[in-house]
Every structure is written in C-alpha cells, then in structure tokens.
Amino acid sequence: MTPENSESFNLTRMLHRWKWPRARNPQNADRDYTNLLRYTLQLAAEREIAADVLAELSELLERNAPAWYADEQHERVESALELLQRL
C-alpha cells in the first residue's frame, strides 16, 4: 500500500505486505523505514484534517439545529469525534 493509494488504511495488512519487520538489510532498511514513517505521518495529517472538518460540521449542526438532527445523529457525531481523537 502506498500513500497515493485510496485503499482504506490497515496497518496489519500493510506491514504484512511489506513483510515488516524485515531481516536487517542495510540497503533496504532505511528506505523501508522512511517510507513507513512518511506514510504514518500522512495518515496522521489526514486524520487531523478529518477531525477538524467533522468538528466544524458538528458545530454548524448544533448552532443551526435542523429538525432531522436528533439525539441519535448527535451521538454518532460525538462518537466519531472521540474515535478520531484516540487515533
């Protein structure tokens, strides 16, 4: 899996695909670690963006309170925000 791939993130599958941790091969170890670190940082940035957007939408919904925005939807939004905070 590469950062450009739109496939959903699954760390276990990614590490298995990369056969991580690999046997120490000095030629590939640094490159593999760099790729994994870059991908991890990209995921963290994308998570942060998603959390910010969801928080902003939540605030708009709370402020404008449309008729269809009931307790169930509010709880789902809050659960999603908590999940994003834990990641």
Residue 74 lies in a domain: yes
- Asked if 13 and 1 touch (Cβ cutoff 8 Å), the reply is yes
Alpha carbon separation from 25 to 2, 32, 39 (Å, rounded): 21, 10, 21
Residue 36 lies in a domain: yes
What's the pTM? 0.57
The predicted structure's pLDDT at residue 19: 64
Res. 73: pLDDT tops 50: yes
Phi first, then psi: give them for residue 9, nearest 5 degrees: -75, 130
| 30 or 70: which leads in pLDDT | 70
Residue 3 lies in a domain: no
* Total domains, the chain: 1
The predicted structure's pLDDT at residue 9: 63
Q: What is the pLDDT of residues 1-59, one digit of tens each?
A: 344 444 566 766 766 666 656 556 666 667 777 888 888 888 888 888 988 999 999 89
N-to-C CA span, the chain: 19
Whole-angstrom distance, CA of residue 83 vs CA of residue 66:
24
Residue 78 lies in a domain: yes
Range of the domain at 46: 11-86
Going by C-alpha positions, the residue among 51, 52, 63, 58 that lies closest to residue 77 is 58
Residue 30 lies in a domain: yes
The predicted structure's pLDDT at residue 56: 92
